[in-house]
Structure 1
Amino acid sequence: MGNYHHKRIRHKNRKVNKVGERPGTISIPADALKPRIVVYSYNQTDLQVSEGTDMRTITEQLKRCTDHTHWIRVNGIGDAQLMEDIGTFLGINQLVLEDIVNTHQRPKFDEYDNYAFGTSRIIYLNDENELINCQFSGIIKENLLMSFEESYDDYFSAVITRIKAGKGLIRVGGSGYLFYALTDTILDNYFVVLSDLGDQVEETEERVYKSPSKSIMFDAQQLKRTFITIRRACWPERDKINDMIRSESPLINNDTKIYLRDAYDHCIQAMEIVESYKEVTGSVIDLYLSMVSNRMNEIMKVLTIISVIFIPLTFVAGIYGMNFSRQDTHGRIIPDNMPELYVQHGYVYTIIAMLFIALVQLLVFWRKGWFNKL
């Protein structure tokens, strides 16, 4: 299994309005992309697609296709005037427009008089293995869904393919079913991300046993932060889907609610996977720290054994290293001052005694099994 070098999390355009700013103010982030608009107008037998960058793209398509369901897809939110025009055209509350451009929202589902508004977190790994966390917003009206995404990435290509194929309920299910289909695609991609991250967790866990290093702890901590980010998206997504299931709005019909229950199960499953992986990454960190601690204990044990061996030897050497004279200044013998200094072969006897002491200590340590645990 290869090395993954997981990078940090990248959030796009995460700007919050200034403190005290009027509610409903549309503040476009400086790095927001200019909008690209694609309108899909379809019914059971026909599909019309138009592209542009201004309101004319929307209004002309809606006038031309009067008996169709419309998906107005806006990629990029970097045009405050367009947002204002969309709000006026669809009769959208300013607070909703504010939530669309302030892309730090948690997943939610709000109902209004003649429309509903929902948000989700789009999470995916880019080519550089960075976790991208950006916002998806959708306004649901009768026979119309307007969605907003921060990037130009073709995140919903599978849904577009289903619309072009014209099979299943996608063309006849209405705007509420289309919103479900987009939400379900977001949830499905969570499993793709979790699968890739799961491989990284397993690879990191194997590295702990094979060649533990500091990088393991840093990689595991980054993975843990990644799972926390996904968890923050999954938990409110569950509540959002539950709100849609319990909704009495005619925009979310009973047929759609059946599929929403399936999406709810998928969300619970994703949450369980996130929790389990988060626990594993925490265990990897704990295991690495425990192994480092055990290794340090082994090193300290070796040093302690060496020190214990040399302590009595140092004591002996220190005793006979004291330079007390055998004779006084008048040449008289001082009987208590190290008579061993004049013993024949005393040096050899001392060395032998020191070796014997060291061997006895080594034998005792060996009998106790200390060397087997090093």
Structure 2
Amino acid sequence: MSSFTKRVHIKNRKHKFEVGERPGTINIPDDALPPQIVIYSFNETDLQTREGSDMKTITQQLKKCNEHTHWIKINGLGDAKLIEDIGTFMGINQLVLEDVVNTHQRPKFDEYDNYVFGTSRIIFFNDDNELVNCQFSGIVKDNIIISFEESHKDYFEPIKIRLQAGKGIIRTAGPGYIFYALTDTILDNYFVVLSQIGDRIDQTEDKLYESPDKSIMFEAQQLKRTLIVIRRSCWPERDKINDMIRSESELITKDVKLYLRDAYDHCIQAMDMVESYKEVTSSIIDLYLSMVSNRMNEIMKVLTIISVVFIPLTFIAGIYGMNFSHTDEHGHVIPDNMPELYWHHGYVYAIILMLGIGVGLLFIFWKKGWFNKL
């Protein structure tokens, strides 16, 4: 069995909640990572960066660069007090904070009085060949966007490079555009994952034609399961982007909505690829099972031919194996009791008869073309 079949599995966190608990309760998962905070404060001519791990880092940077737009990037959700302090400082609803730390949200977009909130699913293969499915959350308010990620992986390096270069409108289009850029980066990485899956599907299909074995079915099933995970992210992501396009919030400007339409098209394209790949994986499984069934039919045909050839031979041998005597104890001939048993060279005649029957049956099967299909 291939290493792909052995190693690829879906890496997800378990839910942590109590049945009937108060809405808005912040439950931090036991394996949540400690937060790492990086703040990018920028305007058309300036970009400043500050790192830290507590609320003081945020307040000092906002006070220092009060004329800038701020992207507060938080990697790791292991500090409940930090989450609560951000909610108090920004005036964020407690239910939103609960959704931030409850990392099993489906992609969505919610509007509030003076801010908007959205979530997406970040999907990638890690170094252990595991499909990681983690949550991204973003809060956009005034000139601030706060992004929350589960892991310490720097998933948005392209956005940082664009901010540092200062080209285009990324520094001047406001936090709503940053939120779009982060969402678009997530969608772009869906295509990276789908490209890797497509390569594996091609490898599995080649193996099916060259040297099929039962590992193909397991590999195809795991690929199909992976595609189902991506599908669960793509479908609600489409609805989320559509909600952003229809939003009446001033934080999502007309210019941003223009770019969101392009992201919507990308999401539809990713969904189409997922559905196509799912059909291919299902076809691989069906084709493998058909090949196994055909192979079994061929084996049964061979066994049937052998049985048909030997049935008359066994019948003849059985008849002459009954050994009824040709005469009684007084030497009188008993009528109808196998006179062939006393023929000279009778054994040779029986063998020739059986060989003739066998060869004749094989000749008939050959004329019918049965051997050409084995």
TM-score range, shorter chain: over 0.9
Distance, in Å, in 1 between the alignment partners of 2:351 and 2:257 is: 91
- Residue number in structure 1 paired with 2:315: 315
Q: Which runs of 5+ in 2 are unaligned?
A: none
- Residue number in structure 2 paired with 1:187: 187
Distance, in Å, in 2 between the alignment partners of 1:370 and 1:293 is: 18
1:283 aligns with 2:283: yes
| TM alignment of 1:154-233, pairs within 5 A | 154-233=154-233
Per-residue CA deviation, residues 39-68 of structure 1 (Å, 9 max, x unaligned), is 111111111111111101101101111001
Displacement of 1:161 in angstroms is 0.6
1:353 aligns with 2:353: yes
Displacement of 1:69 in angstroms is 0.5
Q: Specify the SS of the correspondent of 1:322.
A: coil
Per-residue CA deviation, residues 274-328 of structure 1 (Å, 9 max, x unaligned), is 1111100100000000000000000000000000000000000111111323333
Per-residue CA deviation, residues 86-142 of structure 1 (Å, 9 max, x unaligned), is 111111111111111111110000000111100000011112222111100001101
Superposition TM-score, scaled by structure 2 size: 0.97
Q: Specify the SS of the correspondent of 1:218.
A: helix
Q: Specify the SS of the correspondent of 1:292.
A: helix
Distance, in Å, in 2 between the alignment partners of 1:278 and 1:97 is: 35
- Taking only aligned residues, the RMSD between alpha carbons, in angstroms, comes to 1.3
Per-residue CA deviation, residues 168-219 of structure 1 (Å, 9 max, x unaligned), is 1111011100000000000001111111110111111111110110000000
Distance, in Å, in 1 between the alignment partners of 2:185 and 2:14 is: 23
Aligned partners of 1:3 and 1:203 also within 8 Å: no
| TM alignment of 1:30-109, pairs within 5 A | 30-109=30-109
Q: Specify the SS of the correspondent of 1:148.
A: strand
Aligned residues between the structures: 373
Aligned partners of 1:14 and 1:102 also within 8 Å: no
Counterpart residue identity of residue 349, structure 1: Y
Counterpart residue identity of residue 31, structure 2: D
Distance, in Å, in 2 between the alignment partners of 1:13 and 1:90 is: 28
| TM alignment of 1:204-353, pairs within 5 A | 204-353=204-353
Distance, in Å, in 2 between the alignment partners of 1:224 and 1:42 is: 43
354-363 vs 336-345, greater mean Cα deviation: 336-345
Aligned partners of 1:16 and 1:104 also within 8 Å: no
Q: Specify the SS of the correspondent of 1:44.
A: coil
Distance, in Å, in 1 between the alignment partners of 2:40 and 2:99 is: 24
Q: Specify the SS of the correspondent of 1:213.
A: coil
Aligned partners of 2:107 and 2:121 also within 8 Å: yes
Q: Specify the SS of the correspondent of 1:121.
A: strand
Aligned partners of 2:12 and 2:132 also within 8 Å: yes
Displacement of 1:5 in angstroms is 4.8
Q: Specify the SS of the correspondent of 2:67.
A: coil
Distance, in Å, in 2 between the alignment partners of 1:82 and 1:322 is: 97
Distance, in Å, in 2 between the alignment partners of 1:14 and 1:251 is: 34
Distance, in Å, in 2 between the alignment partners of 1:154 and 1:145 is: 17
Displacement of 1:23 in angstroms is 1.1
Distance, in Å, in 1 between the alignment partners of 2:332 and 2:126 is: 93
5-14 vs 207-216, greater mean Cα deviation: 5-14
Distance, in Å, in 1 between the alignment partners of 2:14 and 2:170 is: 32
Distance, in Å, in 2 between the alignment partners of 1:159 and 1:334 is: 107
Aligned partners of 2:4 and 2:219 also within 8 Å: no
Counterpart residue identity of residue 130, structure 2: E
The sequence identity of aligned pairs, in percent, is 72
Distance, in Å, in 2 between the alignment partners of 1:276 and 1:332 is: 86
Aligned partners of 1:7 and 1:131 also within 8 Å: no
Distance, in Å, in 2 between the alignment partners of 1:248 and 1:312 is: 87
Counterpart residue identity of residue 207, structure 1: K
Counterpart residue identity of residue 119, structure 1: T
